Structure 1
């Protein structure tokens, strides 16, 4: 006999009764020097803030938080300061005695993004990515999908880990020497709809006057001088910042996650399916142990099928307006519920497409010889 539950299996390869799940909130773990422990916010404690000015002076001085609130002012945000002798790999380690990331995530069930502000060198990158992946997987099992953002303090001497062929699902590695770009990343995520790519040019430039690629030894570290390095980092699956010829300011390159290409290998698509996942759960959990009508031959009543299809389609359409292209649910009437005591639903989301590369074939035309 199976345990009553809703088992939602994310399918990959094809790309009235509801509770609004929202688009998710952000949580930060901020590594700070022991001398900078906020007076009203102890190390290891979680507090929420909606404005930069609401925080203790020590947190207001953190560049990543300044950048975050320049994009997401008014958004409830959860922050945990931690002494900087703690490694980032430890912060996201499920079995750590202090349970840093778990304590942050458990503070509010609406947290969908967690970012760590600090320095993460190549030597510890793989361990941190592995721990972050396990953290995200554990919370997905709790019906708490989350994306983890880690800084990567890249330097030119590093032999890059190729994240484009890795399997660190739900983890983003952001090139950031001290974690400042984590604030920009999370600010872009929570201040936009879930489907929006953080690199969308029409949103305007990032709220920064300069952007240095600190991994270069040269004093002229502006990313505009090192677009070849930016492209290499991007092609290896890292999120970084770039410039465009003819455009003023700085933009994110794209939003890859640290995993091989697939339906959920970028932040926007993962966030879209996460929101649909939560809506689907909230819709169908109401149906657990419900008695359903069957036909004279023991199959599902067509009316039951239509209701199950319509409920989830309506919930997703109402809560994801503009975030997906379409949604379609299907419940096969021929299912033998009397034997299996199980109903299978096929739910297909058609996401938005993204113009990541535009190829223009430009040339002259002579109508006289056409």
Structure 2
């Protein structure tokens, strides 16, 4: 086994400066090739709708959904935002994009991930199959959605372990039939690296007959906010879209609470506020999971990347040990400080972690080495603890409103 670093995510726990592109996304989409400017199964890096035009992607019948998704992404994220794009034949399904090839042992989506060299923090999918595609409903959505969700989860877990480049995926609840009762329950699932979205900016029976979701807006909002921020945060303002539908029904007239309660991300409105907002940012897993919310998933993923960067400097390093082969406390302190300092500078100082401002020693991160481990015999450094302090989110606000009691003189 090659010398390396193993970082394990804990669950149920609640220096140098590195420029981390926290909002870099990758779009996997059904598409039609355009001459030699836009080829299928080929990764492209773009930063604006000008780049989209240069690829030859226009809102015609062939690439309407792809163009719409890109346009909505940049309307929300802003021009200049880095995005990686790869198109797939319309005869393929979303699950195909995440299915391992028996010969290479790699999924098609990995080509995009590898091309970005670990920069991608989230993938999102835009599905617009050929007319020959037949939808098979299971739990009120296309059966392929949950197949793709399972495969996307597996890919993310494996890619994180092998490439130290964690990400999560946003998938459309494709072909949702509007039945909120039989809709698949996500809050009992175990896919803490996948988000499923419902609701679009086009009607189901409109000119383009949308069966997908406005994933470009979701990814665009993620791309421009810090990792600890919820995409539904009201203070960040309304979304860029002026309309939102659940099938043909305006989102504000649909029971979006029922969709939210089943673990889906969709649109809503707030009384007294104009425009649309997202309901919340849940992933397709139990609420007891520490990474149930994307804002926590993104925080821990960033801490993971930073921990890897800090630890990499010590790989194959020689170190001073005690007579019993255990790690010198001085050397251990150096490692602990390197990890904590990097995470503090990149996260706590940017407001992405909680900390006690009255405690000069509180950096929002706790790193401790295992001083009982025999490094001489195992050649292995062990951490006994690496934890970051997540921020809270005001999901509910209770206000006891009443009259001031009248007092007698």
TM-score, normalised with respect to structure 1 = 0.90
CA 1:157/1:259 → structure 2, altered by over 3 Å: closer, same or farther?
A: same
- Tell me the equivalent position of 2:251: 223
Deviation at 1:179, TM superposition (A): 4.0
- Tell me the equivalent position of 1:292: 319
SS in 2 for 1:328: strand
Give the number of the structure with larger relative contact order, counting CA–CA contacts within 8 Å between residues 6 or more apart. 1
Structure with more helix by fraction: 1
**What is the CA–CA distance in structure 2 between the aligned matches of 1:122 and 1:233, rounded to whole Å?**
16
5+ residue gaps, structure 1, are none
RMSD: 2.3
Deviation at 1:100, TM superposition (A): 2.9
1:179-229 deviation line (CA, Å, top 9, x unaligned): 452101111111111111111111110001111111xxxx5x111111x2x
Residues 52 and 60, structure 1, Cα contact 8 Å, conserved in 2: no
Deviation at 1:4, TM superposition (A): 2.2
Matched, 1:152 2:173: yes
5+ residue gaps, structure 2, are 60-66, 129-134, 136-140, 200-209, 355-363
CA 1:224/1:39 → structure 2, altered by over 3 Å: closer, same or farther?
A: farther
The number of aligned residues is 360
**What is the CA–CA distance in structure 2 between the aligned matches of 1:356 and 1:116, rounded to whole Å?**
28
- Tell me the equivalent position of 2:300: 273
- Tell me the equivalent position of 1:307: 334
Residues 64 and 180, structure 1, Cα contact 8 Å, conserved in 2: no
Within the candidate set 331, 342, 364, 2:380 is matched to 342
Deviates more, 1:163-172 or 1:8-17: 8-17
Runs of 4+ in 1 over 6 A off after TM superposition: none
Residues 67 and 180, structure 1, Cα contact 8 Å, conserved in 2: no
- Tell me the equivalent position of 2:353: 324
Residue pairs, 1:82-97, within 5 angstroms: 82-95=88-101
**What is the CA–CA distance in structure 1 between the aligned matches of 2:121 and 2:160, rounded to whole Å?**
11
**What is the CA–CA distance in structure 2 between the aligned matches of 1:38 and 1:118, rounded to whole Å?**
21
Deviates more, 1:101-110 or 1:38-47: 38-47
Residue pairs, 1:131-280, within 5 angstroms: 131-142=151-162, 143-153=164-174, 154-157=176-179, 159-176=182-199, 177-214=210-247, 221-226=249-254, 228=255, 230-261=256-287, 262-280=289-307
**What is the CA–CA distance in structure 2 between the aligned matches of 1:202 and 1:96, rounded to whole Å?**
48
Matched, 1:365 2:404: yes
Within the candidate set 369, 372, 393, 1:354 is matched to 393
Deviation at 1:360, TM superposition (A): 1.3
CA 1:209/1:39 → structure 2, altered by over 3 Å: closer, same or farther?
A: farther
1:207-263 deviation line (CA, Å, top 9, x unaligned): 01111111xxxx5x111111x2x1111111111111111111000101111111211
SS in 2 for 1:67: helix
Residues 276 and 316, structure 1, Cα contact 8 Å, conserved in 2: yes
CA 1:201/1:145 → structure 2, altered by over 3 Å: closer, same or farther?
A: same
Residues 178 and 246, structure 2, Cα contact 8 Å, conserved in 1: no
CA 1:202/1:4 → structure 2, altered by over 3 Å: closer, same or farther?
A: same
Residues 24 and 83, structure 2, Cα contact 8 Å, conserved in 1: yes
SS in 2 for 1:125: helix
Deviates more, 1:111-120 or 1:73-82: 111-120
Residues 197 and 213, structure 2, Cα contact 8 Å, conserved in 1: no
Matched, 1:102 2:110: yes
